[in-house]
Amino acid sequence: MDDILARRGLRAVINASGTMTALGASRILPEALAEMAAISARFLRMDELHDHASAVIARITGAEAGFVTGCAAAALTLACAAAITGDDLAAIEALPDAPGRARRIGVQAGHLVNYGAPVGQAVRLAGAEVVPLGTAALCEVWHLEAALEAGLAAVVHVVSHHTVREGELPLRLVVERCAARGVPVIADMASEYDLDGPARLGVDVAIWSGHKFLGGPTSGIAAGRRRMIGCMRLQNRGIGRTMKIGKEGIAGALAALEAWERRDHAAARAREEAIVAGWLAALADLPGVALAPHADWTGNPITRAELCLDPARAGLNAWELAERLMQGDPAVAVRDDLAEHQRLYLDPCNLTAAEAETAARAIRATLEAARAAGDGCRRSWAEVKAARRRFPLSGAPT
């Protein structure tokens, strides 16, 4: 087979990190690729394709309607825009300016996180004013009620391992209080497995990534109330034009949704848990490394391997281990969100059994080499943060 990475001079990465956009998110399912190829040479009315997509999404999620967008972040912006403009075409063409329109959108302070870009920025792109609710680790009902009393166009609720979950208002309660005042709730659930729960709760728009756990192409999937979804579609006559998705992306996203519907979830879970068990066994004797299975932060049916490092015995800080693994050949990506707490996580969802074994060997070899050379534990977390580049993308100004 043609190795496209070698041909283009790119480094291969073994992805033990999960469905991360920075690593290419996910492997696209064969059935999604087949649908994309099949539709690529055909012409059709895009509005009819969007109608068909809406019906498929509605059937699978239990919502009234659905819409496929360029990505989950685009869906968040378009849902906020829909809450501001409704179906007013003049207002849609005026965005991000929204003179005379309610444009305050509430977001719990602990949900204003960075998923690769700030959540608040995706909201503001719609012409909205972000209204933080509560404080980072405490949002109470009266914070939401006060903002509703002052006037909100919508409330955005983020379900993610990135958010501060201590003291947050549960989605069910947010929907209940907002519905009583006729204020729509937009739930950003980009990486969440729950496809039909939001509709049962009464969420007005729920958003998932088509390119993460679903294994489709880069896309966003929105499901919700018919009017809100219709007003999101109308944004393609305004700011949505810069976020549009083509026929191939829509077809691939639908194929991925339908494949998820048919998937043997128990068998997939068993395969992933076997990989985790293999990691726990293969790395059990590493000095200074405590291993344990770790359940997903938001309740998705995923088990990961947690590595807690004692740097003095392991020979490396967690952030140093993650950095050196990514410099290896092949590079190995681990989940390092909590590296400053000396914790790393290995995610099985994007790995073959052979890749998982390679990742384990790389971890062992990296730690053994560091202990032998005594060249670890040289950089504190403060030094790592201070040295991070202002422009993290290759080719950007320095």
4-19+265-387 classified as CATH 3.30.479.30:
no
CA dihedral 301, 191, 322, 268 (to 10 degrees): 40
Residues in the chain: 398
pLDDT band at 355 (very low <50, low <70, confident <90, very high): very high
What pLDDT is stored for residue 98 in this prediction?
87
What pLDDT is stored for residue 21 in this prediction?
85
Q: Supply 362's token pair.
A: 């790389």
Is 335 within 8 Å of 19 (Cβ atoms)? no
Q: CATH fold of 44-262, please?
A: Aspartate Aminotransferase; domain 2 (3.40.640)
Q: For the segment 58-96, what is each residue's pLDDT rounded down to a tens digit?
A: 999 999 999 999 999 999 999 999 999 999 999 999 999
Q: Supply 12's token pair.
A: 């291969």
Cβ neighbour number for residue 124 with a 10 Å cutoff: 17
Query: How far apart are the C-alpha atoms of 230 and 335, rounded to whole Å?
Result: 37
- The number of angstroms, rounded, from the C-alpha of 300 to the middle of its chain's C-alpha atoms is 13
Query: Are both 4-19+265-387 and 44-262 of the same fold?
Result: no
Crossing angle of the two packed helices 72-85 and 226-234, in degrees rounded to 10: 100
Cβ neighbour number for residue 91 with a 10 Å cutoff: 20
Burial class (CB in 10 A: 0-12, 13-18, 19+), 54: buried
Task: Give me the chain's average pLDDT, please.
Answer: 94
Is 53 within 8 Å of 221 (Cβ atoms)? no
| Mean pLDDT of the region 352-371 | 96
Amino acid at 255: A
Delimit the domains of the chain by residue range: 4-19+265-387, 44-262
What pLDDT is stored for residue 329 in this prediction?
86
Q: For the segment 220-270, what is each residue's pLDDT rounded down to a tens digit?
A: 999 999 999 999 999 999 999 999 999 999 999 999 999 999 999 999 999
